[in-house]
Amino acid sequence: MQFRKKTATHGKLMVALNMTPLIDCVLQLLIFFMLSSSFVLQTGIRVDLPKARAPKLQDEQDIVITITRTNEIFLNDEKMTSDQLPIALLELLTRSSKKIVLIKPDKRVETGKLVEIMGVAKSVGVESLGIATEPQ
């Protein structure tokens, strides 16, 4: 059984590579990554974080205190007053193995309010405090 080679007019072997399937795969991958990356949303309370240069990103912590621009306080997405915060924070610290608290203040929050919340956290036994920022 002999196979015939297809030759061009000059007697050279003609090799054809169909690029259509390769282009289809690349475009499908591109579309997939574009769509999947746009669905990554940060849920929770709307806060404009201050900008800072940070050497590394913080991991998401178990205990998060959020302070909005109107000085509303949220502990893990639950709204509370300044008087309720120490009691609720102490309960969370006793149930959680981590003693790290992340504070997410709006960039318009007064420094006094932020220092007050940090003092409350330290008074109930928080070992480490972090302040969330957006990278510059």
Domains and CATH numbers, the chain: 51-135 (3.30.420.270)
Cα(33)–Cα(120) distance, rounded to whole angstroms? 43
Q: In angstroms, how far is CA 40 from the centroid of its own chain? A: 8
Other CB atoms closer than 10 Å to residue 72's CB: what's the count? 13
Model's pTM, two decimal places? Answer: 0.58
> Model confidence over 75-129: pLDDT tens digits?
988 999 889 999 998 888 888 777 788 899 988 888 889 889 999 988 988 888 8
Q: Could you tell me which of 132, 114, 134 has the C-alpha nearest to residue 122?
A: 114
Distance between start and end Cα atoms, the chain: 70
> Model confidence over 41-61: pLDDT tens digits?
555 666 666 666 655 555 555
